[in-house]
Amino acid sequence: MLFLYIFAIKLAWFPIGGYGEFSNLILPALTLGVLGCGWYSRMFRSSMIEVLHQDFVRTARAKGLSNFQVITRHIIPNAILPIISMIGIDIGIFVGGLVVVESVFGWPGIGQLAWQAIQRVDTPIIVAVTLVSAFAIVIGNLIADLIAPLIDPRIDIKNM
């Protein structure tokens, strides 16, 4: 509601509701993105601090690599792995957040469909939405597991 008030009503940068155009997508996407932004940034910071104290970082600095090279080549790839796993797990939370975002921004979607089905006690639709959400969670976890070996070559995809 705050994004709607500031960016759509006060500043008039974006439309208040509707769907179908790119400008209608920005505020809902921003709302869903802000949902986990603080949590992921805090976890990434903790992960970075943990990786900073590892032996391979000390070795990389001893080899004469610049701070930028140490951070981009050694620290970030190792620190981002837990974040990628968390995002894969949190797909379900994002799907749950869709109900609120679709209601606020007036988007007809799976969240609205689920809410209307729950109100009408429409069991087949509730089961279908649950299955689609579960499928999204499984695919999100699969994608996270497939991205991890691309970032960290120590992870062997054959032994997964």
Q: Please, what sign has the CA dihedral across residues 39, 14, 20, 107? A: positive
Q: How confident is the model at residue 159 (pLDDT cuts 50, 70, 90)?
A: low
User: What is the structure's pLDDT at 44?
Assistant: 92
How much is the average pLDDT of 2-23?
A: 78
User: What is the structure's pLDDT at 157?
Assistant: 65
How much is the average pLDDT of 35-54?
A: 89
How much is the average pLDDT of 74-89?
A: 86
User: What is the structure's pLDDT at 132?
Assistant: 85
Residue type, 54: Q
Nearby residues of 94 by Cβ (< 8 Å), 6 or more positions away: 32, 35, 36
Residues 160, 145: contact at Cβ < 8 Å?
yes
pTM of the model: 0.70
Place of tokens 């032996």: 55
Residues 89, 142: contact at Cβ < 8 Å?
no
Say if residue 160's pLDDT is above 70. no
Q: How confident is the model at residue 42 (pLDDT cuts 50, 70, 90)?
A: very high
pLDDT > 90 in the chain, percent: 12
What Cα–Cα distance (Å) separates residue 31 from each residue in 51, 97, 104, 105, 124?
Answer: 31, 9, 10, 10, 30
Q: Measure CA of the first residue to CA of the last residue in the chain; give whole Å.
A: 43
Residues 144, 85: contact at Cβ < 8 Å?
yes
User: What is the structure's pLDDT at 47?
Assistant: 92
DSSP string, 117-145: HHHHT-HHHHHHHHHHHHHHHHHHHHHHH
User: What is the structure's pLDDT at 127?
Assistant: 92
